[in-house]
Amino acid sequence: MNALITISVLAVLVLYLGLYKANKALLPVTLLGLAVALFFTINHWNVFTGPTFNDMMSYDNFAVAFSGITITSTMLILLLSKGYFEKISDHVAEYYSIILFSLAGILVMVSYHNMTMLFIGIEIMSVSLYILAGIRKQDFASNEAALKYFLMGAFSTGFLLFGVALIYGAAHSFDLEAIKMHLETNLQTGQAISPLFYTGVVLMAVGMAFKVGAAPFHFWTPDVYEGSPSLITAFMSTVVKTAGFAAFLRLFATCFYPLHDFWMPVILVITIITLFAGNITALYQNNFKRMLAWSSISHAGYMLFAIVSLGSEASYGVFVYAIAYSAASIIAFAGLVLMQANTGSDSFDSFNGLGRKNPFLAFTLTVAMLSLAGIPLTAGFIGKFIMFSNALSSMHTWLVVLAVINAVISIFYYFRVIVAMYFKDAERAELEIPLNFKVVLAISVVATILIGIWPAFLPNVI
Amino acid sequence: MNLLSVLVFSPLVAGLIVLVLPASLQSRYKYVALAATILQVLLSVLVWVRFNPSLGGVNNEHTLQFAEKLSWIQLNVGGDSRLQIDYFLAIDGLSMPFLLLTSLVMFVAVLSSWEITTNLKGYFALFMLLDTAVMGVFTAMDFFLFYLFYELMLLPIYFLIGMWGGVKREYAAIKFFLYTLFGSVFMLLIMVGLYFSVQDPLTGDHTFNMVHMMNPANYVDGSLFAKFSGQLLLGIPARSLAFIVLFVAFAIKVPIVPLHTWLPDAHVEAPTPVSIVLAGILLKVGGYGVIRICYSIFPEAALGYAWWIGLIGVVSIIYGALNALAQRDLKRLVAYSSVSHMGFVLLGIASVTAEGISGAMMQMISHGFLSVMLFFLVGVIYTRVHDREIANFRGLSQLMPQYTFFIMVAFFASLGLPGFSAFIAEAFSLTGAFKSAGVNGLIPRWMALGGSVGILLSAAYLLWTLQRMFFGQLRLSGGEPWRLLLTDVTIREKIALVPLAAMALLLGILPGVVFTQINTSVLDLVKLVNP
């Protein structure tokens, strides 16, 4: 609650700082403000009494957990951005404040209790992202990314809104609890549920699948991820994706849960297609950034596991997975930004011989790739482990078998980076790694390994 | 701190020391590693001495020795389920001999690492990490912990082959990695399934404790893997499927024909020390896993598939030997001979007789020493002239008499000459296989006969190689430069070779040294599998 206000005020404040040309103060002020927001968020843990603001929002532990992840990831990504936006344009303050506005939308998305708030949250986030994707005005790829993202995003929001409207028609309410009550009473009394409702659920599932980049609604992802500036891509593939899943999970786990038997097969099919589409296409990429984009699609597939097999551990699974995935992705994107800044290329070959020249960066990238591939003793393994055990306990054996095959496929492309860094020699200059990058890399690596070795370090906050 | 924990984590500490030492001391890294392995040998000798052979262990937690059990991961994952994963190390007769084997092999491997010249810091750090992982696999009694150590073995090997290997190292490394990983990810699924089926009788939580998994009474009624629930998984009885999946996962490591193709590639591309570890220890992890996990947790499935396992064993013995006969590269020959010799392990295990399983254990230990010796000897030639085509050498006995002596010891011991460990091991495995038809009717007699043919073939390829490379007129394809390079074995090489030869001889003459230590456990295992 306080966190949301803090971030919104912070965004305006940052704009004013820009107006008064206090460019040096932008990053420290933003980070400080986010730290305060994080403090407010954590402070809110376990004090949930019920929905607030006329039942519009509910700051329960679920919201606290996901706000925590998204704020922390944003802080890490912004820490990487020192000197990054200056190279793109003169209007630096605007970028900070747009990212902050987007984060405000995300905070609404993870804590809504009413479908209108879900819509508003998604819109605040998306509109900011359309601008961020096109932040490099002169760059054709960036323009293409922004336009594509905008068109696709508008479509998906349309689906979502249509779904909301149909559900309102059937259940006469936007409130999650009221919709759930409507379903439960109808199911108990044997009254038929209006066909409008079923259509609405499917449309909302499609809309959410668009937002999290799940196949077959994923086609915008690679182009947008590739065209946007790398740090914005990092933000989109970690923070935005986490928020999308939190919203998705909240909707289906609390509100539509009584209709589980109806929508589960739909999500199941989406999950399987997502896994294969993401992994198999990633195999054929020659460029690190595009590989990360496709791999992020496959990770969406793993996270959908939680929604397929809704159990007591579903939220916890997404929570752990999102942390593991965000930490590893931030490392990967940090490596990408460094590589692009120094060599101007991000093909796998540009990583050749990095193991010898930059042992620390190579080591952190290796840990990140291993974590993304789900190798034990990294956070990624624990995330996959919880997801798989969840799915197995709800007897989705085939799904898990397919997922495991996909996990093996993913080894191929994640290991291409490792192979390039360590097994291939090339004459290259040492990359210069600024201090802020070192800090972010170190934090993320420590988190990845710590969660891998001792998962109890992450308490079950939800 | 428990002795086993020290044994497992002392190499890791050595690895960290190597990492923090400055690069100016890089010529000293190997001594750090050497010290760690010597310490490990001493510790495992201590374990050997203090081990009480009258306690069986296997499926009885109270008779496991040197046990250390700490609660490690206790996650409250919502609802009433709690993730209970213990840090549980313990040994019994089935794992104890492997500790000494591992530490000796690691010692030899470090000695042979003198040839490594590039990026020493990374090399020794990875090597020590590998050491920790292997020790962990042999001592872990919690399935989750076992799995972690099992997977942890993969990465160091992958990097060791990929960074210090031969020309096609990238291919060999990823092939090795994917083969093993493919087996083990499915093992993960079975492990999770077992977890949901088994309850700790004391706390009532689900548990990964292997000892609890071996007791049918601990299975939740009607759960997936409960013995009499008759659940089907993908159309096959769940317990049978689980057994097959686990068996395949470990059999890839053993390796069995037709899942062995990673082995020759990995060996040929790997530097000598890595070959030594691969052949000496990692193959044994496969055999150990079959005994410890497949047979102990799914005994009735094991009995049901005994015929097939015996068949796989015989096919591996003969196919491996025939392949060895056809090789032109000395290292490939030794690699295929490993496939052949590990076949005896499966044959012995499949018989589920005390003789057969003792023979299988003995074969693993004996092959551990002998294959290490063979790979070390191949490495001796290779480091000198960077070539190991059999046809390129002739009459080496005149040039390197001491080397030829060691080669003859290793070859004759490997082909099963009485007086050496392999003879005892193969004789016991075959006795078990013969006896099985009369006692429990699990495997037919012709399989034992097939195994004996394998011994004959191994004599053929080893003696033929001896003849081609070491006897006759001295003729080297590299001419005079090679003649100067091919010096006889050095002191350091002798330090590595003598203990191996001595162990092979000792175990051949006094096999009781091992048999008395493992006997109670083997009998308990036979009783568990075939009551």
Give pLDDT tens digits for B181-196: 888 888 988 888 888 8
Interface contact A388-B76, CB threshold 8 A: no
Q: Given this model, what pLDDT does residue A108 score?
A: 94
The total number of structural domains that make up chain B: 1
Q: What value does the mean pLDDT take over residues A63-84?
A: 92
Is B177 within 8 Å of A415 when comparing Cβ atoms? yes
Shortest CB distance from B192 goes to which of A312, A377, A388? Answer: A388
Q: How many Cα atoms occupy the beta-carbon half-sphere of A103 within 13 Å?
A: 37
Instruction: Please enumerate in sequence order all residues whose Cβ is within 8 A of that of A400, keeping only pairs 6 or more positions apart, or say none.
Output: A388, A391, A392, B189
Q: What pLDDT score does B80 carry?
A: 55
pLDDT for the residue B215? 87
Query: What pLDDT, on the 0 to 100 scale, is given for residue A312?
Result: 65
Please tell me the predicted confidence (pLDDT) of residue A315: 86
Interchain CB distance below 8 Å, A312 and B79: yes
Rounded to an integer, the average pLDDT of A321-339 is 94
**Residue A254 above 90 pLDDT?**
no
Beta strand pairing status for B65-76 and B236-237?
A: unpaired
The answer for B 445-504 residues in CB contact with A (under 8 A) is none
* CB contact set of B13 (below 8 Å; sequence gap of 6+): B36
Query: For residue range A200-220, what is the model confidence (pLDDT) as tens digits?
Result: 999 999 999 998 989 888 889
Convert the pLDDT of each residue in B98-132 to its tens digit.
999 999 999 999 988 888 888 888 899 999 999 99
Record: contact B189-A400, CB cut-off 8 A: yes
pLDDT over threshold 80, residue B227:
no
- Give the pLDDT band of residue B83 (cuts 50, 70, 90): confident
Name the helix (H) or strand (E) containing B84.
Answer: strand B82-91
Residues of B in contact with A376 (CB under 8 A): 147-148, 151-152
Prior bond of A28 cis (ω within 30°): no
Q: What are phi and psi of B381, to 5 degrees?
A: -65, -45
- Give B220's DSSP letter: P
A392/B74 touch (CB, cutoff 8 Å), yes or no: no
Q: Which residues form the domain of B457?
A: 3-529
CA dihedral angle for residue B21, residue B23, residue B26, residue B32, rounded to 10 degrees: 10
Shortest Cα–Cα distance, A352 to chain B (Å): 13
Check residue A113 and give its pLDDT: 93
CA distance A413 to chain B (A): 11
Alpha carbon distance B76, B92 (integer Å) = 32
CA distance B333 to B264: 9
* Structure tokens given for B372: 């290490």
Count chain A–chain B contacts defined by CB atoms under 8 A: 85
Rounded-to-integer distance, Cα B354 and Cα B525, Å? 9
Residue A275 amino acid letter:
L
CA distances from A199 to A169, A193, A366, B410, B416 (A): 11, 11, 45, 75, 74
Which pLDDT does position B203 carry in this prediction? 78
CA distance B426 to A9: 79
Mean pLDDT on A318-346: 92
Annotate A205-227 with b (16+ C-beta within 10 A) or e (fewer): bbbbbbbbbbbebbebbbbbbbb
- pLDDT: is A276 or B219 the higher one? A276
Q: What H or E segment, with its residue span, contains residue A338?
A: helix A314-343
Chain A residues near residue B162 by CB distance under 8 angstroms: 419, 422-423
Tens-digit pLDDT profile for residues A292-318: 999 999 999 999 988 888 766 788 889
B19 in contact with A at a CB cutoff of 8 Å?
no
Chain A positions touching B77 (Cβ under 8 A) are 312-313, 316, 386, 460
Contact B196 A370 (CB under 8 A): no
pLDDT higher than 90, residue A233 = yes
Which of A85-94, B496-505, B507-516 has the weakest average pLDDT?
Answer: A85-94
Query: What single DSSP character describes residue A347?
Result: B
CB-based contact, B315 to chain A, within 8 Å? no
- A401:B77 CB<8 A: no
| CA–CA separation, A385 and A186 (whole Å) | 37
Residue B198 scores a pLDDT above 60: yes
Q: Is the pLDDT of residue B81 over 70?
A: no
Task: Please report residues of B whose CB lies closer than 8 A to that of A462.
Answer: 78
Contact B59, B524 (CB under 8 A): yes
Is a pLDDT exceeding 80 seen at residue A180?
Answer: yes
E strand segments, B175-278? 232-233, 236-237
Give the model's pLDDT for residue A141: 87
For residue B375, the model assigns a pLDDT of 92
Write out the two tokens for A282.
């990633």
Mean pLDDT score across all residues of chain B: 89
- Contact criterion met (CB < 8 Å) for B77 and A313: yes
Contact A376 B152 (CB under 8 A): yes
| Min distance A167 CA to chain B CA atoms (Å) | 30
Q: Quote the ipTM score.
A: 0.87
Q: State whether residue B307 sits within 8 Å of chain A by CB.
A: no
Q: Flag the least confident range among A87-101, A263-277, A281-295, B404-418.
A: A87-101
Residue A28 makes CB contacts below 8 A (sequence gap 6+) with: none
Has residue A95 got a pLDDT over 80?
yes
Comparison of pLDDT for A47 and A129, the residue scoring more: A129
Q: Region B274-293: what's the mean pLDDT?
A: 92
pLDDT at B63: 84
**Percentage of chain B modeled with pLDDT above 90:** 49
Whose CA is closest to B344, among B374, B371, B373, B309?
B309
Q: What's the confidence (pLDDT) of residue B76?
A: 61
Of residues B73, B162, B186, nearest to A404 (C-beta): B186
Closest residue of chain A to B74, computed from CA coordinates: A456
Tell me: pLDDT of B79 over 70: no
Residues from chain A that touch B73, judged by Cβ atoms under 8 A, are 454-456
Interface residue A360 vs chain B (CB under 8 A): no
Q: Across all residues in chain A, what is the average pLDDT?
A: 90
In this predicted model, what pLDDT tens digit does every residue of A111-155 receive, in sequence order?
Answer: 999 999 999 999 999 999 999 988 888 888 889 999 999 999 998
Q: What is the pTM of this model?
A: 0.91
**What would the pLDDT profile of B22-40 be if each residue is shown by its tens digit?**
888 888 888 999 999 999 9
Between the CA of residue B444 and those of A55, A201, B85, B317, what are the distances in Å?
A: 74, 61, 42, 16
The pair of three-digit structure tokens given for residue A368, joined into one six-digit string = 């990140």
